């Protein structure tokens, strides 16, 4: 049975604002070169309020979620929810979890309660769970995780140890369509169709 992790915003929840990600990347590249591989973590109350409002752009459950439930019920996959949402977003997260009745479908729910860099948190969680596949919509995180979790062999002294490979599936937006990547999908439903054939 495949162990599959799913991000929340932009994957399980449809978020039209993710189309702006290439613009955010460009701003980071031009003005914050030293922090290109880091994500902004709000610290002040007004920043957290802004971030709470930004997450309200996750507006409805993405088509394909019912198909995930069916794959779990049919014992084709074991599903996990892994979201980089920060600790102060837990109330909104709980609201969605209740609406999705997600605890009946997912074997584990993990969120970024220590307010780490989201890509570090996801890398650690993906490795801890020994996932076969992780589904993410943020290209920066996909690229980072691909480089960090797709190594099949690691050498330690005189011995070599084969590590489990995790495939990172990417749900891209229209502006990122030209990026060449093996496991890219336009919507969640296409991801689930792929998984159903495995």
What pLDDT is stored for residue 17 in this prediction? 57
Which residues are CB-contacts of 10 (< 8 A; sequence separation ≥ 6)?
18, 58, 137, 138, 171
pLDDT score for 185 = 97
Residue 172 pLDDT: 93
Asked if 102 and 65 touch (Cβ cutoff 8 Å), the reply is no
Q: Provide the 3-class DSSP secondary structure of residue 16.
A: helix
Q: Which residues lie across from 81 on neighbouring strands?
A: 6, 109
- The better pLDDT of the pair 163, 11 is held by 11
All domains of the chain in start order, with CATH: 2-196 (3.40.50.1000)
Over residues 139-180, the pLDDT tens digits come to 989 999 998 876 544 555 554 444 668 999 999 988 888 899
What pLDDT is stored for residue 14 in this prediction? 83
Is residue 35 over pLDDT 60?
Answer: no
Burial of 145 (0-12, 13-18, 19+ CB in 10 A): buried
Write the DSSP string, 28-85: HHHH-GGGTT------SHHHHHHHHHHGGG--EEPTTHHHHHHHHHTTSEEEEEEEEE
Given this model, what pLDDT does residue 181 score?
A: 95
What pLDDT digit, counting tens, does each position of 47-64 carry?
666 555 565 656 678 999
Q: Say what the pLDDT of residue 18 is.
A: 54
Contact 110, 75 (CB under 8 A): no
């Amino acid at each position: 049975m495949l162990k599959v992790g799913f991000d929340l915003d932009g994957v399980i929840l449809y978020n039209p604002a993710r189309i702006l990600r290439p613009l955010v990347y460009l701003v980071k590249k031009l003005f914050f070169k030293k922090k290109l591989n880091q994500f902004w973590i709000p610290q002040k109350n007004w920043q957290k309020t802004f971030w709470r409002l930004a997450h309200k752009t996750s507006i409805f459950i993405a088509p394909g979620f019912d198909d995930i439930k069916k794959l779990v019920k049919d014992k084709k996959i074991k599903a996990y929810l892994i979201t980089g949402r920060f600790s102060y977003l837990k109330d909104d997260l709980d609201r969605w979890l209740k609406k999705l009745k997600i605890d009946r479908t997912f074997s584990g729910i993990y969120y970024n309660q220590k307010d780490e860099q989201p890509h570090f948190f996801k890398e650690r969680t993906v490795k801890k769970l020994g996932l076969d596949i992780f589904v993410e919509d943020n290209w920066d995180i996909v690229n980072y995780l691909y480089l960090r979790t797709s190594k099949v062999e690691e050498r330690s002294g005189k011995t070599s140890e084969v590590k489990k490979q995790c495939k990172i599936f990417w749900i891209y937006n229209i502006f990122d369509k030209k990026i060449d990547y093996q496991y890219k999908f336009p919507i969640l439903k296409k991801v689930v169709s792929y998984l159903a054939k495995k």
